[in-house]
Amino acid sequence: MNRLVRLALALSLCALAAPAAHATGLLLPTDTQVTPFALKHQRVDIQVKDGTAVTKVEQVFVNHTDRPLEAQYLFPVPTEAVVVDFHLLVNGRMQKGEVLPKDKANQIYTDIVRRMVDPGIIDWMSPNLFKARIFPVPPRGEQKVEVTYTQVVPFMDGTYKLVYPLKTPARAAKTLQDFTLTATLQHATPIKAVYSPTHRISVARRGDHQATVGFEGNEVTLDTDFVLYFGISKKDVGLTLLTHRPSPAEPGYFMLVAAPREVFDSQEIQGKAITFVLDTSGSMSAKAMDHARKALAYCLGQLGSDDRFNIVRFSSDVEAFSEGLLPATRDNVARGQRFVEGFEAAGGTSIDEALKAALATPGDARTPHLVVFMTDGRPTVGQTDIKKILDNAAERRGRDTRLFTFGIGEEVNTHLLDRLAMDGGGTSHYVRPDEDIEAAVSALYGQVAHPVLTGVKLDMATARPYALVPGRVPDLFKGGQLVLVGRYRGDGDSLIRLTGTFAGSEKRYDFEGRFPERQPDNAFLAPLWAHRQVGVLLDQVRLEGETQGLKDEIVQLATRYGIVTPYTSYLVVEDVVTARPDPRPRPLPPRPTLRRERGNFGFGSDADAPAAEEAEASPGKLMSRSAAQGGAKPAEALKKDSGRQGVDNAKVVKHLKDKQTAGGDVATVRYADGRVFRWDGQAWLDTAHRAGMPEVRVAPFSPAWVELAQLRPDLKKALALGERVTVVVGGVAVVVAPDGAKALSASDKQRLAR
């Protein structure tokens, strides 16, 4: 039996044995000498009403040849829900198609394998397949295909899970242009938390019963299905709980997403007390000062009639608009705006005295006091010792005061501003000289404009939680949501209680949650928690100094989950397969090509530190520098508190602590069914692998490989990584390699059985 036939047989059997996967559509020429057409763009519109979704998919494919071609359009049918209707439009005309059962689908998958020879197709197959004939596809032209299908969205414990298939058979396939997805959610019960662990989404709410979710990108890699969770609840605050625990022998992972209702009566929104503090020292540029004045004028204009406010200007001296907080009447706001218009840049930077003036008025449980502190420099006047400034602020700050800091430019002391915000229950932000201060300040104000639940406390003792990130539960504001990630040791049903102040009164919200002893789903929670935890640990090193314990924990987590830090360095995997027109038959994707990159992901020296925005946009290409590579020692790099490097450090650490999606930072790391794999230069290696483990060696696509897929269908995603993979199964290392055995022995089968 030749290699292609073995591969085809193996994949057919895998389709029967493995759980169903999702995939996006494929346009395949009937001429077997022509490769599949490249996908120019894909646009998806999903309408979800009361748990039923109607999905409309528009795909445009490119014929890269000089002749008209006949093609088959293939779309693996989503299987997590019941498909009620499925139809196809080609260039505006209804096209006849059919949904094939799995036995006929397997034959088509086999034909595709013979042409594409790609291990990744294992993760593309589905038991049922929609198929349609399209002719002609014009030469050097485009073919537009529209698919519409209806399905019931899976629902459990108050939360819907919507999945849109994106994976393609070819590794690292990309759209030539854009991928755009819009999901409109409507429900008779108010929609609360909306969260995607796979893509950075925007969420626009229209009342309590409707929300619009959006994602858009150019040249998007189609290697991860789009997953969206959204919860419904009639309570003022809704809560979604997700858990993951691959083994009862180890603690589990959990995520809590809490969101308030969108519509409130005017008397239910508690007024806020807010003080704006602006640095007007001589170092403020004319452009920065102009933007800051406009930002403050905007924020003042947005104050509600039940709000109170004050303004503090500081340079060498400190000047307050009022001795205390004033009601936000039309006249007071107008006078405040005129006060701001008169600001000029001159003098030094008296941060300690400015904080003293801003914190003089304490908040209370009914009306928290929000302080927005903006500065462009380090303390140069009065008290300049950072520790004493922090101690003074802690002594003056009331329990119900929240401190938000803005660093303008790169000459700020990031350690001071980060610590002020951390201790003050707020957040820190940094705006570079060429960035729009007005937009950044206005965005923050929009997030904190309407407090809903303040002084929030979380109780879930039965679950025995630990390592919660963030460690201090923040306040909940209208239009926002809390995303908390942590570990748990207990199991079983648990009461989850949120308490806080709502509309001036103490409120308690009780929810029922279940923390399973074993939960293989939601594997994204492990790397997501690891990223956030590494951010917390790096912040401790930055602000308090390095210890051996901190260093060891950072290295352990970063190494396992592919997180770029000053303590770890990685090899970069080149992208070797892309979805581009190519008239030649597509070969088996080669093993990753490696090149070593030097860089620091914001943690190295000022001379070559990349911007934090670049690091966030493409973290896989910005590798951390280790001391062994000749760069600065990690603790020394993190110690930098100002300059470009200091701001980069602060931004990158904040990015890790606030991470929303679960993707890795480096191309040498892959996640598959809750397992983490690293490319070691020769093969994908399960990070659970340890030297000396007993081994079962299997040749790829051999009868042994087929038996392995039948025996352990949970290894499907691992097998899809390629022809060289090592995966740990119950303490046994299964090594897939060309020199592996072609048949499993009886003892091998026994060791690998569940």
DSSP secondary structure letters along 543-598: HH---HHHHHHHHHHHHHHT---TT---EEEEP-------SSPPPPPPPPEEEE--
Indicate the DSSP class of residue 233.
-
Percentage of the residues of the chain whose pLDDT score is greater than 70: 80
Which pLDDT score, from 0 to 100, does residue 478 have? 85
Residue type at 494? S
pLDDT digits (tens, 9 = 90+) for 421-458: 999 999 999 988 778 888 888 888 888 888 888 889 99
What is the pLDDT, as a whole number, of residue 90? Answer: 76
What are the pLDDT digits (tens) for 566-607? Answer: 887 544 443 333 333 333 333 333 344 444 333 344 454 333
CB of 166 within 8 A of CB of 180? no
What pLDDT, on the 0 to 100 scale, is given for residue 254?
Answer: 95
Residue 746: which residues within 8 A CB-CB, separation 6 or more? Answer: none
pLDDT for residue 720 is more than 60: yes
- In angstroms, the CA 721 to CA 429 distance is 39
Q: Residue holding tokens 């995303």?
A: 483
User: Predicted confidence band at 125 (pLDDT cuts at 50, 70, 90)?
Assistant: low
pLDDT for res 92 = 74
Q: Label residue 562 left, alpha or beta by phi (over 0 means left) and psi (-120 to 50 means alpha).
A: left
If you ran DSSP here, which 8-state letter would residue 266 be given? G
Spatial separation of the C-alpha atoms in residues 594 and 624, rounded to whole Å: 16
Q: Which residue has the higher pLDDT, 116 or 353?
A: 353
What's the CA gap between 673 and 527, in Å, rounded? 12
β-pair partners for 620? none
Rg over CA atoms, the chain: 28
Q: Mean pLDDT over residues 254-277, rounded? A: 84
Q: What is the overall mean pLDDT for the chain?
A: 80
Q: Is the pLDDT of residue 416 over 60?
A: yes
Whole-number pLDDT of residue 304:
87
- Give me the half-sphere count of Cα atoms (radius 13 Å) on the Cβ side of residue 130: 24
Mean pLDDT over 627-633 rounds to 48
What gap in Å lies between CA 420 and CA 403, rounded to an integer? 7
Whole-number Å distance between alpha carbons of 430 and 611? 12
DSSP state, residue 433: T
Beta bridge partners of 243: 254
pLDDT given at position 209: 94
Answer yes or no: are the C-beta atoms of 511 and 239 closer than 8 Å: yes
Instruction: State the pLDDT at residue 84.
Output: 55
pLDDT beyond 50 at 650 = yes
**CB contact at 8 A, 727 and 685:** no
Centroid of chain to Cα 439: 23
- Band the pLDDT of 127: cuts 50, 70, 90: low
Of the candidate ranges 42-56, 155-169, 366-380, the one whose mean pLDDT is the lowest:
155-169
Q: Which two tokens stand for residue 405?
A: 């800091």
Q: Are 275 and 504 in contact (CB under 8 A)?
A: no
Length of the chain as a residue count: 754
Question: Of 561, 640, 553, nearest to 600 (Cα)?
Answer: 640
Q: Which of 249-263, 505-519, 652-666 has the lowest mean pLDDT?
A: 652-666
Asked if pLDDT for residue 48 goes beyond 90, the answer is yes
Mean pLDDT, residues 91-96 = 74
Dist. CA 580–CA 62, nearest whole Å: 9
| pLDDT-based confidence at residue 211 (cuts at 50, 70, 90) | very high
Please tell me the predicted confidence (pLDDT) of residue 86.
Answer: 63
**DSSP-assigned letter for residue 690:** -
Share of the chain above pLDDT 90, in %: 37
**Cα 727 from chain centroid?**
26
The pLDDT value recorded for residue 597 is 36
Give the separation between CA 150 and CA 145, rounded to whole angstroms.
17
For residue 116, pLDDT over 50 is answered with: yes
Rounded Cα gap, residues 346 and 3, in angstroms: 77
Strands 401-408 and 428-431: parallel
The CB-side HSE value for 204 (13 A sphere, CA atoms) comes to 6
Task: Tell me whether strands 369-375 and 273-279 are parallel, antiparallel or unpaired.
Answer: parallel
Burial 545-559 (b: 16+ CB within 10 A, else e): ebeeebbeebeebbb
| Confidence bin at 128 (pLDDT 50/70/90) | low
Is a pLDDT exceeding 70 seen at residue 684?
Answer: yes
Neighbours of 141 (CB within 10 A): 13
Q: Residue 149's pLDDT band (boundaries 50, 70, 90)?
A: confident
Residue 160 confidence (pLDDT):
93
Average of pLDDT values for 638-655?
87
Q: How confident is the model at residue 169 (pLDDT cuts 50, 70, 90)?
A: low
Does pLDDT of 147 surpass 60? Answer: yes
Q: Alpha carbon of 320 to those of 214, 276, 290, 345, 375: distances in Å?
A: 43, 10, 19, 16, 16
What Å distances lie between residue 617 and 601, 622, 658, CA to CA?
A: 11, 10, 15
Tokens read off for 713: 């269908």
Q: Quickly count: other Cβ atoms within 10 Å of residue 506's Cβ.
A: 10
Q: What is the average pLDDT across 323-339?
A: 94
Q: Could you tell me the two tokens for 436?
A: 């729009």
Q: How many helices (H) and strands (E) does the chain have?
A: 16, 39
**Are 162 and 53 contacting, i.e. CB atoms less than 8 angstroms apart?**
yes
Q: What pLDDT score does 585 carry?
A: 35
Whole-model pTM over 0.95: no
